[in-house]
Structure 1
Amino acid sequence: MSLLVTHARLITIPAGTDDPGYIDDGWMLVEDGRIAAIGSGTPSVTAEETLDVAGAFVAPGFVSSHSHLFTSGLRGLGVADTLYGWCDSMLGTTAHMTAEQMYWSTLHGSLDFLSHGVTTAYNFTDPLQAWESMVDGKRVGNAPLRTIEYHTRQADGCLDAGIRFVDASGMDVTVGTRGDVFDRFAAEVAHTRTLDPAYALGASIMGQVQWSPDPEAAELEVEAMRRFGVTNQAHFLESPEAIEHQQSKFALYRDAGALGLGLMFGHFIQTTPEIIAEAVAGGASMSWQPASNGRLASGVALVPEMIDSGMRVGVGLDDQACTDVSDPWQNMRMGIYMQRARTKDPLSMMPERMLRLHTLGGAEIMGVDDRVGSLEVGKFADFVVVDPRHPDVGPLWHPVRSYVLAMSPRNLVGVYVGGTLVSDRGVSTNPLAEEASARLHELPAQLVGRGHPH
């Protein structure tokens, strides 16, 4: 199947340059789900179908480099808490959920991301080991394990929703022998690798050294990275509690050799100049979640300084339970405003940079930028159509800047994955969408008596 998109305000975000690749009157040819050609003016090609967007923006689908898609039914919990109290409320609820409930919650969360223009996500699955409250900045590590199906059904939910995703699993290193730890993780990775590789873009580790009581947790994660050929993103230096204890854990990853294997740090807020310098020198990257960091009162990461020092940065929406609305435009604006308020310098975070971080930047740190993150020939045709006239934002003096600063889901006309419409003005085209919504609304009643939101 071929599709020709015409009369578009194209924003391509090409690799290797800071230029956003804006074409005022552009066209794009899609063949078999991938971008076959891009041009300006009158198209030099034809296709089986034509999509005339009549002056709307056409831009890459957003990439969320840090997400927890199973949380779609858990919004509004832990509002008065910082990270660990919020986790007690939110993950204290999922501790009582079944694998099938997690499937529908993940599917719903994935469809929610798609309806807001997010076409690729790094997805942290809820680990097999249930959440425990933090004590002195770490977990005890003796919570029970769930069956492997608890993980595999979350991956299935992403796949059935039609979002592209990297599937991240916790290794739960405090339960069982070392052989048990690797056997469990091997089973999780093996399942991910049976899924359609056009959607399941890779397997990864949900790094848990930050709160693990096991002094060998970093070494085990590094061994798994090497043994299974997977990436690793660690929630790290996020919360303003127990900062010295958190910072002391950096040496565990550094000494285990994780930085040189491309470790991603999620959040990376409570840093020091020395930690940033060592992370950059070692080759680590970071994922920045501005809306989540504000919601949980975690602080503001020194992102401009990190970028200037050579660190690769992506942007994530985190999850619906701490971002509340899966709105990438809101996330971008919060990021811009936070940095400008902190630095008192408007140049510290410009709209063009912010857009790149939430698209190609995220794909780069996830290792999937050869397939997604920009509108370039050969990549998947994942794009959004955004109409600046409905509602009308007035003249587009600087189109790309207006795209970042003045657009919102109200302007989002359509979301396409592989050139196929997956969300039409916020309404999913997925045949499972209605059932996913119904299942999610059943959760509160189902969880009463087994543990419920508080």
Structure 2
Amino acid sequence: MTTQPPSTKLLVHGATLLTVDPQRPDPFVGWFAVGTDGRLTAVEAGEPSAEQLAGAADTLDATGTIIGPGFVSAHSHLFTSGSRGLGMDETLYGWIEAMLRYVMPATPADMYWCTRHGAQDFLRNGITTAYDFTDGGLQFDKTIASFGDRLPSLERQDAQLRAKLDAGLRSLHSVMLAQGDVPRADALAHVEDTVKAAADADPALLLGVAVSGAVQWAPTPDTAALETEVMREHGLVNQAHFLETAEMLELQRSKFAWYAESGALSPQLVFGHFIQTTPEIIATAAAAGCAMSWQPMSNGRLASGVAAIPEMRAAGMRIGMGLDDQSCTDVSDPWNNMRTGIAMVRAQYKDPLAAPVGDVLVMHTRGGAEALGVDDRVGSLRVGRFADFCVVDPRRPDTGPVWDAVGTYVLACSLRNLRSVWVGGEPVAHGADLADPQAAEVESQVHERLARIAADLGR
């Protein structure tokens, strides 16, 4: 007689759950089950039955902990993981120049290891899904805020895709399109090649290919028209760095019309940063269904400003949160990112309700997934979503009595309380230790390769 393997590969019980499920109140003490496909098959209050426990291939007694969904970084640049601490007293364009000094000479193989370093850094810190802006090898000229007339390197972008997959991080793989005066046929062929290169990737990890919007740095409306065409042709999300810095402000704002006139304004368009807005720009973007990604740690570090989060929420915009460049957020800590955002907005508006704690937790989880159009797969602990979650112990080190689990989780806990991180019901990190057997090699490769680049540059 053949015995069927258990349909539940993992059952977690005893924890206080922060599901961020809009259909049920958080928090509650409960349990959840993970199927063999890595998705949640049950999320319930109370304790599982003895039969349910016995029917699971593995169990995790998480009594005394708080479990939340894996964080979503709705705006990330993983390739910068080896470039932290640079441009420390610069605004955006000066920092870009300082960071790219060590990135531009990198080979595709160098970019692979730097990106994998960034991906494993995210996983270690509880970030299980990232919108990743890849580097296409385009040189940025800060004097004219432009990337010049070039096609990005497909080989370079593909190396970064493979790195995320090998690390086990879920991602949207975002690529920059041709910049400047490049023949339209060549630009569209590059997109076709990019989509084809990603076709064989594991769909459980690669949540989609996306566009890295570049109108903020474009010399003509042709960039907006190309991005819109690609969005429609391939059904891609487009996240545009837009209105991030106060430099060249009126020129930046004038380019919002390029997106509007091209027809790009839609639920597929996400504005990254979106700080130097006007009431009219917010109203127009919200009415079209556009989303926004908020990077408070980066915005503070680069002196970019404080986004008008209350006005955008009031207008109905979907808002996610991101860790941005690991070299301008420096420590990829989603708890610090949430607390920084709460403090910046409350101080700006002199109102604690301008950034409610529970709402900010949603922004860094389900809200990011909603902004990117992937909330059917990630961002919350709901049946059918992937079982990506963080196990946080408020007693190690002790944060005191837990009066409100949401308040303790967001305001009092941090990376030091993060006991383990799970992706698809599989452990990927225990404390600072990664499950990936190649984790140490990744670190060695990054140090050796960047040391070679620095030596070649005479540093």
TM-score tier after normalising by the smaller chain length: over 0.9
Residue 368 (structure 2) aligned to one of 352, 358, 362? 362
Letter paired with 2:75: H
For 1:22, the equivalent position in structure 2 comes to: 27
1:208 aligned to 208, 214, 220, which one? 214
Contact 1:141–1:213 at 8 Å: present in 2 too? no
In the superposition, the TM-score normalised over structure 1's length comes to 0.96
- 1:3 matched residue in structure 2: 10
Find the counterpart in structure 1 of residue 297 from structure 2: 291
One-letter amino acid of the counterpart of residue 140, structure 2: E
In the aligned structure 1, how far is the partner of 2:449 from the partner of 2:83?
A: 10
Q: Which amino acid aligns with 1:30?
A: V
Distance 1:125 1:412, change over 3 A: same
Kindly state the Cα deviation for residue 241 of structure 1 after the two structures are TM-superposed. Answer: 0.6
**Runs of 5+ unmatched residues, structure 1:** none
1:124 to 133, 140, 153: 133
Q: CA deviation at 1:214?
A: 3.2
Q: How does 1:255-270 map to 2 (within 5 A)?
A: 255-270=261-276
Q: CA deviation at 1:16?
A: 5.5
1:277-304 CA-partner distances (Å, limit 9, x unpaired)? 1111111110000000000000000011
TM-score by length of 2: 0.95
Q: Deviations for 1:215-274, whole angstroms, at most 9, x for unmatched residues?
A: 311001000111111110000000111110110010000111111252100000000111
Paired position in structure 1 for 2:4: none
Corresponding residue for residue 3 of structure 2 = none
Larger mean CA deviation between 273-282 and 332-341 belongs to 273-282
State the distance in 1 between where 2:380 and 2:449 align: 37
1:40 aligns with 2:48: no
RMSD over aligned Cα, in angstroms? 1.4
Find 2:100's aligned residue among 73, 88, 91.
91
CA contact (8 A) 2:151 2:177 kept: no
Q: 1:384 aligns with which of 390, 406, 421?
A: 390
1:133 and 2:141 matched = yes
Question: Is the partner of 2:271 in helix, strand or coil?
Answer: strand
Unaligned runs of 5+ in 2: 1-7
Q: Give the counterpart of 2:399 among 378, 393, 396.
A: 393
Aligned to 1:373: 379
Distance of 1:403 and 1:147 partners within structure 2: 42
Q: In the alignment, residue 429 of structure 1 is paired with which amino acid?
A: A
Distance 1:384 1:261, change over 3 A: closer
Deviation at 1:6, TM superposition (A): 1.0
1:316 aligns with 2:325: no
Deviations 1:48-107, CA, capped at 9 Å, x for gaps = 111001210111000000000111100011111100000001123211100000000000
Q: CA deviation at 1:380?
A: 0.4
Evaluate the alpha carbon distance shift between residue 426 and residue 286 of structure 1 in structure 2; reply closer, same or farther with a 3 A threshold. same
From 68, 81, 90, the equivalent of 1:59 is: 68
User: What pairs up with 1:72-111 in 2 under 5 angstroms?
Assistant: 72-111=81-120
1: CA distance, partners of 2:129 / 2:237: 16
The percent identity for this pair of structures is 51
Q: Distance in 2 between matches of 1:7 and 1:353?
A: 25
8 A Cα contact 2:267 2:291, kept in partner: no
In the alignment, which residue of structure 2 is the partner of 1:195? 201
The residue identity in structure 2 corresponding to 1:111 is Q
For 1:176 and 1:351, the matched residues in 2 are separated by 46
For 1:169 and 1:397, the matched residues in 2 are separated by: 44
Report the number of matched residues. 447
Structure 1 distance, partners of 2:458, 2:205, is 33
